[in-house]
Every structure is written in C-alpha cells, then in structure tokens.
Structure 1
Amino acid sequence: MEPQYSPPGNSSNCSSDSNISHILFPLLYTFSFFVGIIMNGLALGVFFQISSKSNFIVFLKNTVIADILMILTFPFKILSDAKLVSWELRGFVCKVTQVTFYFTMYISIIFLGLITIDRYLKTARPFKSARINNVPAAKILSVLIWIFMFSLSLPNMILTDKKPTQENVKKCADLKSDSGLLWHEIVNYVCQFIFWVNFAIIIICYSLITQELYKSYKRTRCTGKANKKTVNIKVFIIIGVFFICFVPFHFARIPYTLSQTRDVFKCSTQNTLFYIKESTLWLTSLNACLDPFIYFALCNSFRKSLLKTLQKCVIRTKGNQNSEITTDEETPM
C-alpha cells in the first residue's frame, strides 16, 4: 500500500500535475483494463470447466481471481487521475479501490512464489511431487492467504476516516488519522517483506531449476530426446512476468518514499521519482494481462480446455453463417 505523504519543508509546494499524469497514465491503464478484462474473463470461464485436481491449479485459480479484482479497480484510477469525476470519488479511491489494488497485487506476488515452488518440485522431483500433492491443504493455505491480506488491508480502509474535502483528497495520506498513518507504515513494511521473501524464493528456485534443466540436457543431448527439455523451458515465463511487473516498482518505491518523507530532494528530482514510481506501478498492472500466458504455457488442462472452447466457438460461428446462407438461398424472390 503505497504511502502518499506530504513532504516537509519546501517540498510540500512541489506539484507533479502534468499531461503525463492526467492523460498518459489514464490511457495506459485503459489499455490494461480492456486487455486484462478480456483475457482474464476468458481465463475465468476456462477455469470453471477445470477441476482443482492439483496444488498448481488451485494456485492458478486464486491468481486469476486476484487479477480480476485488481482490474476492476482500474476504471476508478483512470477517472480519478484524468480528473473526469468530482473530488468526492477521489475519497472513495483513497479509501477502497487504491487499497484493493495493492491488496490484490501482493496476493498475486504470494501465489507466484507458491507456483514457482510447485514448478521447482515438478522439475526436480516429478514423481515425488505427484505424491505430495495435497489439494485440500492448498485450498486451506489459499484461504489463509486471503484472510491474512484482507486483515492487513481492512484497517487501511477503516482508518481512512477523515471527512473528504476538495483539498485533502489530493493526497490520500491526508484522509488518514494518526493511527491510520501508523498502520499504513506497518503494512508497507509487511508488504516489502512479502515481496523480498518471494523474490528470494523465485531466484533460488529458478537457479535450481536451471541446474536441473542443464543436467537433463546433458543426459538427453546424445539420445535425441531434446523435445522434453524444450517444453520445460516454458517454466521460465514465471520469472519473466515477475521481473517485468513487480521488480521495477519495488526498486523504484524506495527512493520515491524517501522523496516523500525526507526534505532532501529538489522538486525536479521529486517529480522524476514520481513519474518513475507511476510508470513502474503501471507495470504491476500488466501482471493481470500477462498471467494468462502463464496459465496457457504451463497448465495442460487450461490449454486443452481453452483450445476446445475456441474450437466450439469457431464451429458455432461457421454453423450460424451456413444457416444464414441457406436461409437466404431459400427465400423466394
């Protein structure tokens, strides 16, 4: 949950209002919204047809739910940043949708870490991982993750309890009580901890996966069985999505937070850090657009169900077209 403090000293007069803030970022989030809602809507429909027969599928289903919730916050951010709505809606953005955005972001990060562990076990110990597959435990763990993150986020909504005015809605932190600011800071530390733990998990697991794939390559390069190796390479899509979407933001937010809490940067530097933070924050929204590629690349059940659904749609469309042509031919002149 990103802090939005008013910096002390002269920096409080530093404004970042510009066409970039009011035009470019809303356009980028509009792109993310339409692409994300289409792809995740389709993914959700496909997952409804797939039984939760493995830990992996359970984690994927939770990820798509988190992505859809994140996407539903985009229209509020778009309208608020573009200043297309009254300042009253900005209070709702600060209190609800902005908190939900970060809440779902860190849920996605946690599940990417769990998916990575699952893929490592599948790669390094394919037979043993099948035996330790425990779907009920995966479901319980998923519920606990949602409860934990919701418990962290709910006070951020409740403690944003000052009456919104045209002035204080410009910075969400101004709507928080002293207890709200303290809780906000605590949640920031917890979320940073969540990110760096999952960052370490992904780095370690992919280092081990790389070793396993190299060993597999050495064993199979002389036997003509390289196709299996090529399939396993797809697992690297997870680390690609993680580094594109989440790593830049968490490196950018450190100097940005310092610029907001310490009067040590010039106004131009503060604005530069603001745009970097907002740009990398948009990259986190791309996670909702890229996750469906993970489902398609790594989940055989998802891929088969999706292709079957698309084939049915094509056949139905062709059938309707043929029916219309036949009806036209039979219509008397």
Structure 2
Amino acid sequence: MGNNSAYQLIEDCNATNKALYKFYAAVMIVIFILALPLNASVLHLFIFKLKFWKSNTNNIFLFNLVVADILLLFCLPIKAYNFIEGERRSSNDVVCKAMLFMLFLNRGASIAFLTVTSIDRYFNVVHPGRKNLLRAIKKSPQISIIIWLLLLPLTIPTMLQNFDCCNSHKSEDEPKNDALIKDVVDSVREAVFFTQIIIPFIILVYCTVRIVNRLRKKTVGDKTKLRRAVFLVTSVMVVFSFCFLPCTIARVVLLVVRVKELAEVYQDKAAVAFDGLMVLSYMDCLLDPLVYCFCSTKFKALYLTNYFPFLQKGIQVPLDSSTGQNSHPARSHVI
C-alpha cells in the first residue's frame, strides 16, 4: 500500500493495519469481560452493603469513580466492533459523537474523582487537624453532581470535529478565515485533552510526594498501616502514569508530525500508536477497583465474604449487619 493511500485512509478514519486494529479490539474485549463484573460487584457492595451515602469516608467519591468506569466500559464493545470492521470510529455521525461524549465524559470523571480522592487523602494525612472546604462538603452528594456538571463543557470540544481520527490541524486549501477558525477549534480541543491529564497528574505528584514524606517521618503508629498507606498512594501514581501518560505523549508526537507535515508514513505510525495507547488507557477501568478498593483489608474482607467465602482464611472482619462495615466505631472506614 503506497504512502498516499495510507495517508488517505488516516484522513478518512480507516485502519491502515487491520490486523493490528483487530488486536486492539481483542484487548478491549478482554478489558470489558474482566472489568465489568469486577466493577459491578464493587458497585453492589457500595450500594447494598456499605450504604455509601451514609458514610463518613471517601465512599461517595469512590462510588462515583466506579460509576464512571462502568459507563466507560459500555463504550468498549462498540469501539471494538469499529476496529474489527477496519474503522477507527463509527461511520454513523450520531453514534460517533455519542461515543466521543461518553468516552471523554466518563474518562474525565474517572480522573476527576481519582484526583479529588487523593486531595482528600492529602489533607487527612498531611494536615489532619486543619479545616478545609473539601472535608466540609465531601459528605454531601452535591459535590459529586457539581464535578459531573463541570465536566460537560470540557467534553463538548471533543465533539466539535472528528477527534477520534486525530486529524487536528489538517492541511487543507481553505479560505484564510475558515482555516483560522479551524485552527482555533483544533487548539481548544487539544488543550482540553491535555488539561484533563496534565493538571491532575501534577496534583497527584504533589499529593503523593507530601503524603509519602509525611508517613515516612511518622514514627508512632502501626507500621503495617503506614506501609499500606504508602503503597496505596504510590499505586495511584503508577496506575495514572501507566494508563494516561503514554497516550498523552503519543498525542504530542502525533500533533508534531502533523503540524510539521512530515512524511505520510510517520503520520500513519503516529496515529496507530496513539490509537493503541488510548486502548491502554481503558485499563484504568480494570485497575481502579484493585487499587482503591482492595488496598483496604476491610473492603477486601467484605468482598471475599460476599463473593468468595471459600477464600477467606483466619478470622473475618466483624461487619455491621445494616451497613456491611466494621462494627467497631473507630474502624468503620473502608479506605
């Protein structure tokens, strides 16, 4: 296949390497099969066992994180079908825009609630006695609703043009005014994409470093609990870096290749790499429950008691019959 035909396939949002895109589709199907029952079971525990709306912990944020991951998962079979058909996105304009809306809204929500949870943990560990706005309002469901509403205007720019085809700053013979408007729209859309990842990443790095330093300096207390807390905040950074940074870097490379108008073969490789790393970012749906839920021994005990009782060893964590939480008031926190 010549370079010109490959370049045209990219611009038409078609796969240039159908075998590779079928592999991407297989990966998404595996993620869907593994992550859906995992997230659904965690959601069940939050609603029927933990009764998250009555909780004094981060459970409201974690509940929204699970909801965002589940909604994102439902997009994966459609995305996988498109890849199998040799299309990088749906040829139906309505379906394409709906998919973009769902993918970026729920992906943004997952990042947002992950970040808010880390900020809350930062205040609890580094400034345990200081009053803060987040601590005051986190018990109210309104804060979660506000986060979802704030994400809506950030999602709209990805729907203005075909973001999935990675054709920002496309070289075309257009009138000067039209070309200028298109460049502005493309730039806004790309700025939204990078902002949703870079700013939370900076916040996560700061919170993680401060929490780890604070815990390492703490000499009084349960060493096991301190090690678990360090492992938790470190895992957050690892998951975020593994899932979201590679596709961000690939997007930068892709934009540089297009703006510099390098050879079509480079644009093809950059686009294929970006699509593959976007698939990698969906692993977040599978890793979130493992990191945020199963790092808690109490939540793990509750999960095993309800779904895998035969795996339980030793003394089980005593659970309150109405909430599913530890009956001891001083140990009622899940995370």
Do both proteins adopt the same fold according to a TM-score greater than 0.5, normalized to the shorter chain? Answer: yes
Match of 2:123 in 1: 121
Q: CA RMSD in A?
A: 3.6
| Partner residue, 1:234 | 231
Equivalent residues of 1:63, 1:111 under 8 A apart: yes
Match of 2:155 among 142, 153, 162: 153
One-letter identity of the residue aligned with 1:38: P
Measured in 2, the distance between the counterparts of 1:314 and 1:214 equals 33
Name the one with the larger helix percent.
Answer: 1
User: Would you say 1:60 and 2:62 are equivalent positions?
Assistant: yes
- SS of 2:141's partner is helix
CA offset digits 1:131-161 (Å, max 9, x no partner): 973355653222112112123334655x569
In the alignment, which of 82, 96, 99 is matched to residue 97 of structure 1? 99
Provide the C-alpha distance between the structure 2 equivalents of 1:134 and 1:153, rounded to a whole number of angstroms.
Answer: 28
Q: 1:259 aligns with which of 246, 257, 260?
A: 257
Q: Residues 176-215 of structure 1: matches in 2 within 5 Å? A: 183=185, 185-215=187-217
Q: Cα distance 1:36–1:110, how it changes in 2: closer, same or farther (>3 A)?
A: same
Secondary structure, aligned partner of 2:96: helix
Distance change (3 Å), C-alpha of 1:99 and 1:229: same
1:286 alignment partner AA = M
TM-score normalised by structure 1 residue count: 0.74
Identity %: 19
Q: Which amino acid aligns with 1:54?
A: N
Which digits, 9 at most, give the CA deviation of each residue in 1:256-311, with x for residues without a partner?
A: 12334441x22222222123212211121000000011232345664343233125
Q: Find the counterpart in structure 2 of residue 80 from structure 1.
A: 82
SS in 1 for 2:282: helix
Task: Tell me, in whole angstroms, the C-alpha distance in 2 between the residues paired with 1:132 and 1:73.
Answer: 31
Question: What TM-score comes out, normalization by structure 2 length?
Answer: 0.73
Match of 1:272 in 2: 269
**Structure 2 counterpart of 1:309:** 306
Local SS of the residue matching 1:134: helix
Whole-angstrom CA distance in 2 between matches of 1:203 and 1:143: 26
**1:20-31 equivalence runs, <5 A:** 20-31=19-30
Q: Does the Cα contact within 8 Å between 1:22 and 1:81 map onto a contact in 2? A: yes
CA contact (8 A) 2:69 2:285 kept: yes
**Is the CA contact (8 Å cut-off) linking 2:254 and 2:271 kept in structure 1?**
yes
Residue deviations 1:160-200 (CA, integer Å, cap 9, x gap): 69xxxxxxx978889xx998985564233123223221111
Distance in structure 1 (CA, Å) of the matches to 2:310 and 2:137: 32
User: How many residues are treated as equivalent by the alignment?
Assistant: 290
Amino acid in the other structure paired with 2:256: L
CA contact (8 A) 2:39 2:66 kept: yes
Structure 2: tracts of 5 or more residues without a match: 171-177, 313-335
Paired position in structure 2 for 1:250: 248
In structure 2, C-alpha distance between the alignment counterparts of 1:196 and 1:205, rounded to whole Å? 14
User: In the superposition, relative to structure 1, how do residues 79 and 90 fare at CA in structure 2: closer, same or farther (>3 Å)?
Assistant: farther
Match of 2:214, as an amino acid?
Answer: E
